[in-house]
Structure 1
Amino acid sequence: MNEGRSAGHAAAGDGGPSVTVDGARRRHLGDLSDAGALVVDAQGRIVEVNRRAANLLRRPAEELLGRDAHDLLHRGRSGETLPPSVCVMREPFVAGRTAQGEEEWFERGDGSLMPISWVVTACRTGTEQRGALVLFHEVTASPSTEPAHPSPAMSELDRLALLAETTTRLTSTLDADETLRQLIRLVVPLLADWVVIDLLTEEGGVTRAAVVHHENGVLRHRRNLEVPMPPVPQESSMPLSRALRGVTAALIGPSTYQGEPDSDVAVMQRKLFQATGMHSACIAPMRTVREVVGAMTLGRSERPAPFTGADLVLLEDIARRAGIALDNARLYERQRRVAETMQRHLLPQLPRVPGLELDACYLPAPHASDVGGDWYDAFALPDGAIGLVIGDVVGHDLDAAAGMAQVCNMLRAYAADLEESPSKILNRLDQAVSRIAETTMATVVFARVEPLDGGWRLRWSSAGHPPPLLIESDGRSRYLEEAGGLLLGTGIGTERQDAVLDLPPRATLLFYTDGLIESPGHSLDEGMDRLRQHAVSLSHHPLPGLCDLLLAAVRPANNEDDVAMLALRTPG
């Protein structure tokens, strides 16, 4: 920080080692007696934090840095999330001025609420970057500042803000579990003391996915109530059955279930009211244009005011948005499973080769790019050699997985049918790839492991792929960077070369894709050095399971790419 450093330094002092956020050099804020201190950048992300703030918030600094300060910390008096439009601490930040206040609440890492007094003042976090310094103290809660249930009456502006926040939060993820977590935090405790979410499963059943209660500033799941539900009877007139059929929303209470139950679902609802103590509730279907995905129930047990018709209208709108978000998440997950299943079925069973050991693994990407074009292959060739392949088709979607299947099958066919060197096979494959209707680009290493007078010889060629790593039994290691060439599918004619190496006894040869070594914010050389160090340290480990160990040790946590690995070990 330049100007931001002097602004922060005047208030905070120097007090700790530097921290890097998004590639910029950041400095720990020093301790300010009992004041917590945060610096946020122009996007509201925390870029500096002092030790006192981490202690007060009961969160490690690593959990705070890079996160949106408002979304992570700022809560209403009952722990509800707040739309940015009603954040009193945001206005001075946007206006670039100084302001202070009382009776605001930050959420700690353990879920409890902390009443604070605060000061926000503008500062700079870089030469051209505007940000803000936030100082806060924990204060003793007084009767006027203790968490209290908000009034059940919401203004029209508040309702619109909540609906806008609902849309923003629920469309920010394609993970169904995260969608439910966001939904729960949006409605409890702002609208209710309890939230119950019942979901229709893809198999046609019903599961009570969440029963959550707001207790002393913390959201607690009642796991004993989160159970599979009985089938939904089509003839039942009870509110939950109707909601799960997508019929209508309803205001309900314990009296709704005092009569003779018409189904096992009604029995479960009676038990729910008894266990939770809810005196008023409203229920609405969660549906899309195509189908019903579940039902959401809000309940009040502590706050005395019952739900009103206006509350029911608001819940219907929230439930509809939640239904669309959950349906999108399910469709995405279904497509991801199809693509991943196809990809895994295309990966081969490793052949048994007398005198050689083989190991392999594949890991799909963890988040948005859950499927891709990485693959490995190993197969016996007619002349007694073993063919080894590691490859990566450009892209991270179903098209990449389909392209991978084409390239993999063509390479295997060429290698088995033509008694040619790896470079010749790759040249033929490049020509074939260029003729595919859907343009495919890929990186590949193709190697032949040939028996040689009691030993083994490696002959290989590369089309733009990261080089294999050789680790000898005495710990010496090197990357096999010879025989590099242009990736497949560019349309540029090239003649690739072969490289030959006699493999030492008890040597380990590792093929891998770039998802193992690439990481945002780190160079490729750093990733390759990390792989080499861990591979050497594990070189005496039995080969079965070696790839999984390397994957756990080397793959960066923030990598969004899939990974394929193939390892070979020669006999002693």
Structure 2
Amino acid sequence: MFYGLDAGVWVMDSGGRILVVNPRGAEIVRMPPERFIGADAHELLHREADGSQQPRSRCPLLAAMAEGLPTRTQGAWFRRGDGSLLRVGWLLAPYLVGGEQAGAVVTFFDLSAQEEEARRRDAHLAALRKRAERLSLVSEVTTVLTSTLDVREALRRLVRLVAPRLADWAVVDLLGEQDAVLRVAVVHHENGRHVNVTELEGALPDGLSWDSRSPLQRVLRGASSLIAGPEEYAGVPDSAIQRVQGDLFRFTGIHSAVMAPLRGGRGVLGALTLGRADQEQPFDREDLELIDDIARRAGLAVDNAQLYDRQRRVSETMQLHLLTPLPRVEGLEMAARYLPAPQGSQVGGDWYDAFVMPDGATTLVIGDVIGHDLQAAASMSQVRNMLRAFVWDQREVPSLIIDRLDSALVHISDVPMATLVLCRLEGGGGEPWVVRWSNAGHPPPLVIEPDGEARFLWEGHGMLLGTEASPPRVDSAVTLAPDTTFVLYTDGLVEAPGQSLDTGLERLRQRAAGLVGRPLGEFCDRLLVEVAPEESADDIALLVVRVP
């Protein structure tokens, strides 16, 4: 048994001299068995972690011998025969002869394999944690980039995610028309907060050079992501942008940077640069691959946001061109406002219209085409123009004109559904002002008397347009006292997620009553500020008339 153990064993006398050792013990310490016999175990084997001789007073094995008690320890160092050090654990068991302690049996085993396995396990766990952190970062980046269609906001959120988790400096450059390069973000993470270094932002001089070998311009021309350092800018700059980049590295103290292209469906849109100045570790291949993945996602988000912004501007331009100037009518005050949907929301199909008929009556219209895209704006233009033609040609009461419009929309247009209020206002010349209207599924007009009494006109309400139903429509009329204010508006002014329509209408009624003494332009502006819900994602059209 002594010779067949897979652990080292020696027997020593009470003075610490080795009497016998098993073959496995000699093998572990790489010494022939004869070196052990008669040798002082402490002098032969025990060492400090640095290889120096361990003082006898600090030897745990000698201390255990003196106490005469079984003892086990981990983490001692033995000197091998070839001079190398070996981490071991050992178990000492005293033995008695004639009732007195005569020595001890020491069993020892190699811990290096266990520690190496522990190191491999710790390294594997560290690698898994690092990968999990990076996957989490990619997931967060994807979330923030897809949560907004505002380019600047998406990039602002991005740089605050990657700094300081990957770098302490983050820079974003976007390509513009005619190879212009715009530095839209320079952010430094310092003392636990993000600092926008605005003095380094703005248009870069001279635009993109197609001959420069500087890292940033190579990336902007379509090269793959790369790692760069200040040595790239040590020589004479070959372009204005390379000179700016050299100044950036010197100003920030960046010693290692990754530059990655922001690619969209239409090619390279810009570049993301992450730099390390306060973080000592330079970027490596794994960092490069991660940042390239992040930049690829950012590029797609920027591309989508830019395409959306173009569509939005086209839609808003179409709407604003369709909102013609208000007519001048003797005695009447008239004001209108159009408020686009909040940045990042979809474009709607709201509109207002006002024009004077040949008989002197004034036509007032407020409407909203169902939908939130460029098609809605196009549909709105169809409805507006068809309604204008019917009003001008037929000279009928509002309900009959709306019937004709509804029938036409169903059969000769692709407008899905729409709501509107059509009004005919006539009076003046000593006659009272009377408004006659018909409502096709739209929020009711609001009338505010000079004394501040405000009420909604719920009469004349009928089905919205485009349902292919043919319910009878009705007209209503009311006489407006002098200095009465008549308000037409779209649902964006009174509707918001999580809020009932009644709540929005009541807020409109109360604020309009409180503002009725204001000049009409101020009345409109204050009404939008004080009534429009902050969380609304809809556009708003507002048309207000005050009779003399």
Q: What TM-score results when the alignment is normalised by the length of structure 1? A: 0.71
Kept in 2, the 8 Å contact 1:390–1:512? The answer is yes
Q: Pick from 442, 446, 450: which aligns with 2:426?
A: 450
Amino acid in the other structure paired with 1:543 = L
Alignment correspondent of 1:493: 470
Alignment correspondent of 2:454: 477
Amino acid in the other structure paired with 2:322 = L
Q: Which structure has the larger Rg?
A: 2
1:154/1:274 CA distance change after superposition, 3 Å: farther
The superposition leaves residues 254-302 of structure 1 with CA deviations (integer Å, 9 ceiling, x where unpaired) of: 1111111100011101110111011121212111242111111111111
Kept in 2, the 8 Å contact 1:369–1:397? The answer is no
CA–CA distance in structure 1, aligned partners of residues 402 and 191 of structure 2: 66
Amino acid in the other structure paired with 1:244 = L
Alignment correspondent of 1:62: none
Q: Pick from 157, 161, 166: which aligns with 2:141?
A: 166
Which residues of structure 2 form unaligned runs of 5+? 1-125
Alignment correspondent of 1:512: 489
1:394 is displaced (CA, Å) by 1.2
1:289/1:397 CA distance change after superposition, 3 Å: closer
**SS of alignment partner, residue 363 of structure 2:** strand
Kept in 1, the 8 Å contact 2:255–2:276? The answer is yes
1:492 is displaced (CA, Å) by 0.9
Alignment correspondent of 2:516: 539
The superposition leaves residues 57-92 of structure 1 with CA deviations (integer Å, 9 ceiling, x where unpaired) of: xxxxxxxxxxxxxxxxxxxxxxxxxxxxxxxxxxxx
Q: For residues 281-300 of structure 1, what are the structure 2 equivalents within 5 Å?
A: 281-300=257-276
Kept in 1, the 8 Å contact 2:150–2:344? The answer is no
1:361 is displaced (CA, Å) by 0.5
Q: Pick from 253, 256, 273: which aligns with 2:249?
A: 273
Alignment correspondent of 1:565: 542
1:157/1:528 CA distance change after superposition, 3 Å: closer
Q: Pick from 436, 443, 456: which aligns with 1:466?
A: 443
Q: Pick from 320, 326, 334: which aligns with 1:344?
A: 320
**SS of alignment partner, residue 241 of structure 2:** helix
The superposition leaves residues 287-326 of structure 1 with CA deviations (integer Å, 9 ceiling, x where unpaired) of: 1242111111111111222222222222222211111111
CA–CA distance in structure 1, aligned partners of residues 316 and 500 of structure 2: 29
Kept in 2, the 8 Å contact 1:152–1:191? The answer is no
- Whether 1:400 and 2:387 are equivalent positions in the alignment is no
The list of structure 1 runs, each at least 4 consecutive aligned residues, that deviate by more than 4 angstroms after superposition, is 151-154
1:369 is displaced (CA, Å) by 3.8
1:202/1:473 CA distance change after superposition, 3 Å: same
Which residues of structure 1 form unaligned runs of 5+? 1-150
Alignment correspondent of 1:522: 499
Q: Pick from 144, 164, 186: which aligns with 1:211?
A: 186
1:368 is displaced (CA, Å) by 4.8
- Whether 1:309 and 2:285 are equivalent positions in the alignment is yes
- Whether 1:236 and 2:212 are equivalent positions in the alignment is yes
Alignment correspondent of 1:327: 303
Alignment correspondent of 1:196: 171
CA–CA distance in structure 2, aligned partners of residues 518 and 157 of structure 1: 43
Alignment correspondent of 2:329: 353
CA–CA distance in structure 2, aligned partners of residues 460 and 185 of structure 1: 54
Using the TM superposition, name which of 503-512 and 314-323 deviates more: 314-323
Alignment correspondent of 2:390: 414
**SS of alignment partner, residue 310 of structure 2:** helix
**SS of alignment partner, residue 284 of structure 1:** strand
- Whether 1:548 and 2:525 are equivalent positions in the alignment is yes
Using the TM superposition, name which of 383-392 and 366-375 deviates more: 366-375
CA–CA distance in structure 1, aligned partners of residues 202 and 538 of structure 2: 36
CA–CA distance in structure 1, aligned partners of residues 128 and 182 of structure 2: 32
Amino acid in the other structure paired with 1:417 = D
**SS of alignment partner, residue 382 of structure 2:** helix
Using the TM superposition, name which of 347-356 and 458-467 deviates more: 458-467
CA–CA distance in structure 1, aligned partners of residues 300 and 392 of structure 2: 50
1:154 is displaced (CA, Å) by 7.7
Kept in 1, the 8 Å contact 2:445–2:487? The answer is yes
CA–CA distance in structure 1, aligned partners of residues 177 and 417 of structure 2: 37
- Whether 1:227 and 2:202 are equivalent positions in the alignment is yes
**Count of aligned pairs between the two proteins:** 421
Q: For residues 13-412 of structure 1, what are the structure 2 equivalents within 5 Å?
A: 155-202=130-177, 204-230=179-205, 231-412=207-388
Amino acid in the other structure paired with 1:305 = Q
Alignment correspondent of 1:72: none
Kept in 2, the 8 Å contact 1:152–1:305? The answer is no
1:203/1:561 CA distance change after superposition, 3 Å: farther
CA–CA distance in structure 2, aligned partners of residues 447 and 525 of structure 1: 23
CA–CA distance in structure 2, aligned partners of residues 440 and 315 of structure 1: 45
CA–CA distance in structure 2, aligned partners of residues 204 and 286 of structure 1: 15
1:160/1:518 CA distance change after superposition, 3 Å: closer
The superposition leaves residues 383-403 of structure 1 with CA deviations (integer Å, 9 ceiling, x where unpaired) of: 110000011111111221111
Amino acid in the other structure paired with 2:313 = R
Kept in 1, the 8 Å contact 2:179–2:208? The answer is no
**Percent of aligned pairs with the same residue?**
55
CA–CA distance in structure 1, aligned partners of residues 129 and 268 of structure 2: 28
CA–CA distance in structure 2, aligned partners of residues 152 and 304 of structure 1: 20
